[in-house]
């Protein structure tokens, strides 16, 4: 099984990563971690360190792959990230996605959208959403 865990550094995405790491260990699965950004920098390096710590705690090696070419255009940033995640799922043939959700509520989702909603509603890949 191949699992993808997109992270953004938020508390819920790190909880989701911890869950994904536990699942990967339990089912002897491959776990890939990815971070989408339009401007890699110091925050990205801190995020990679956080990811390494979570994976190490579960006995896994690795860090977050940083994809720095997010195309925002006229879409909401979260919608574009959701679409980028789905493209990656298709290209690399992931079996499952585990990701966090900020729980911004209906108004927040109306204004900001949600990458997790974009991925889960697509029906393209089984998705576990961790609050």
Is residue 111 predicted with pLDDT exceeding 70? no
**Does residue 104 have a pLDDT over 60?**
no
Q: Does 71 or 3 have the greater pLDDT score?
A: 3
Residues 6+ apart with CB under 8 A from 23: 3, 29, 31, 96, 98
Give me the pLDDT at residue 64, please.
Answer: 78
Local confidence band at 55 (pLDDT 50, 70, 90 cut-offs) = very high
* pLDDT > 90: percent of the chain: 47
Q: What is the mean pLDDT of residues 57-72?
A: 76
For 79, the token pair is 């919608």
């Amino acid at each position: 099984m191949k699992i993808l865990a997109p992270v953004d550094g938020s508390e819920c995405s790190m909880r989701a990563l911890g869950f994904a790491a536990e699942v990967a260990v339990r089912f002897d699965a491959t776990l890939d971690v990815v971070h989408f950004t339009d401007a890699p920098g110091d925050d990205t390096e801190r995020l990679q360190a956080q990811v390494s710590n979570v994976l190490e705690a579960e006995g896994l090696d690795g860090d977050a792959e940083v994809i720095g070419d997010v195309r925002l255009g006229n879409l909401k940033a979260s919608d574009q990230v959701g679409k980028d995640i789905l493209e990656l799922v298709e290209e690399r043939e992931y079996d499952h996605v585990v990701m966090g959700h900020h729980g911004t509520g209906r108004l927040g989702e109306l204004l900001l959208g949600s990458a997790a909603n974009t991925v889960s509603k697509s029906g393209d890949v089984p998705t576990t959403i961790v609050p």
